[in-house]
Amino acid sequence: MKVCIVGAGAIGGFIGTRLAAAGRAEVSAIARGATLAALRSHGWRLQIGGALITAPVNASDDAHALGPQDVVFIAVKGPALPALAPTLTPLFSATTMIVPAMNGVPWWFSGASPLLGGAPLESVDPGGRIGAAVPLAQVIGCVVHASTATSEPGLTTHRVGQGLIVGEAMGGESERTRKLAELLGQAGFEVTCSARIRYDIWYKLWGNMTANPVSALTGATMDRILDDELVRKFCTDAMREAAAIGDKIGCGMNQTPDDRHVITRKLGAFKTSMLQDAEAGRTIELDSIVGAAREIGQRVGVPCPTIDALFGLTRLFGRVHGLYPVGAPHA
């Protein structure tokens, strides 16, 4: 089986190295700059449990050089995908499984959700450029429950978690999803096949939609955010609004925000991905994590003043620090 990882950062490097080391697939990568140079020099590298896992990789910055794949994992940062997506079409055949392993609400969420009318979400797919390049019928949704980081280009460090949830973007079960789950399971991942992947995406968003931006704004680890009663209440209010949006789109929550806070506390003093990006001076993924929830709320008629405030504050923080574009058309 031929597998390509688009974006060999923290998540892409984690998935790519594990798959390549398992030996059940030929695993290539689309990368650029220092990451591409590192992959060509050292191959896949993953630090996990005190050990360094390595494996060979065919890495390129040109999709034509790699050709059609059986599986394509897209693991780039959300802001990069609109420009990148049209260049990826040489990787796709009529049977390629396209698996976005990205933060927040993916570009395909609206097209696969009858209650949202199918129009592109401008927050994550401005002008519908991604949807035009990536066939919705070939998309398999993916939710990553793992914490990883890149300590240097081409070197991924695993912290905690091995969980992956996969499922058809349009819902239901399929043989191809089971085959993908089997491939990932053989590589050591804890894989769940879901017939309701949009719910799984919304459930994860429900938890990290507040954690990520609040941590970036304050510089606080998650335990300190939850320890502050006023900040915790602010997060709870935003989560209630997101739950109301979920009710409208068939992704109703069966927990309260306090239930979710208890689960999050068990993770301890961790830094969210957005805080890590802010500290490293990287563009923050605000649109897929907060902007999309806000846009969906507007589309289904759910007022979300707390989410609006969270988006506005974090957007301003990002612009002041050069972490969020000033002229974003959807913002």
Note the pLDDT of residue 327: 65
Note the pLDDT of residue 270: 87
- Which position among 179, 204, 248, 266 bears the catalytic label? 204
Note the pLDDT of residue 265: 92
What is the DSSP secondary-structure string of 285-316?
-HIIIIIHHHHHHHHHT---HHHHHHHHHHHH
Q: Is the pLDDT of residue 331 over 60?
A: no
Whether 326 maps to a domain, the answer reads: no
Q: Are residues 309 and 186 in the same domain?
A: no
Residues forming a β-bridge with 106? none
Whether 51 maps to a domain, the answer reads: yes
Distance CA 9, CA 194 (A): 25
Q: Is the pLDDT of residue 329 over 50?
A: no
Q: Are residues 179 and 214 in the same domain?
A: no
Q: Is the pLDDT of residue 255 over 50?
A: yes
Q: Are residues 110 and 206 in the same domain?
A: no
Note the pLDDT of residue 328: 54
Residue among 137, 23, 26, 35 nearest 76 (CA): 35
Specify burial of residue 269 (Cβ count, 10 A radius: 0-12, 13-18, 19+). Answer: exposed
Whether 78 maps to a domain, the answer reads: yes
Strand-pair category, 71-74 with 51-55: unpaired
- 267: number of Cβ within 10 Å: 14
Least confident of 75-79, 116-120, 222-226: 116-120
Q: Are residues 68 and 176 in the same domain?
A: yes
Domain boundary among 165, 194, 223: 194
Please indicate whether residue 204 is annotated as part of the active site: yes
What is the DSSP secondary-structure string of 206-239?
HHHHHHHHHHHHH---HHHHHHSHHHHHHHHHHH
Decide: pTM greater than 0.85: yes
Whether 329 maps to a domain, the answer reads: no
Residue among 247, 38, 50 nearest 157 (CA): 50
CB 294 within 8 A of CB 308: yes
Q: What is the mean pLDDT of residues 286-298?
A: 97
| Residues contacting residue 325 through CB under 8 Å, at least 6 positions apart | 79, 283, 319, 331
Phi and psi, residue 142, nearest 5°: -145, 135
Q: Are residues 185 and 210 in the same domain?
A: no
Sign of CA dihedral 153, 157, 160, 165: positive
Q: What is the pLDDT of residues 27-56, one digit of tens each?
A: 999 999 999 999 999 999 999 989 999 999
Q: What is the pLDDT of residues 120-162, one digit of tens each?
A: 999 999 999 999 999 999 999 999 999 899 989 999 999 889 9
Q: What is the pLDDT of residues 73-112, one digit of tens each?
A: 999 999 999 999 999 999 999 999 999 999 999 999 999 9
Q: What is the mean pLDDT of residues 8-18?
A: 97
CATH number at residue 52: 3.40.50.720
Q: What is the pLDDT of residues 226-239, one digit of tens each?
A: 999 999 999 999 99
299-302: Cβ within 8 A, 24+ apart: 299/116, 299/117, 300/115, 300/116, 300/245, 300/248, 300/249, 301/248, 302/241, 302/244, 302/245, 302/248
Q: Are residues 181 and 147 in the same domain?
A: yes
Identify the domain containing residue 27 by its residue range.
2-194
Residue among 61, 179, 78, 155 nearest 121 (CA): 78
Whether 73 maps to a domain, the answer reads: yes
Distance CA 324, CA 308 (A): 16
Number of domains, the chain? 2
Q: Is the pLDDT of residue 330 over 80?
A: no
Q: What is the mean pLDDT of residues 59-77?
A: 98
Q: Are residues 229 and 144 in the same domain?
A: no
Q: What is the pLDDT of residues 157-207, one digit of tens each?
A: 998 899 999 999 999 999 999 999 999 999 999 999 999 999 999 999 999
Q: What mean pLDDT is reported for the chain?
A: 95
- Which value, in Å, is the radius of gyration of the alpha carbons in the chain? 19
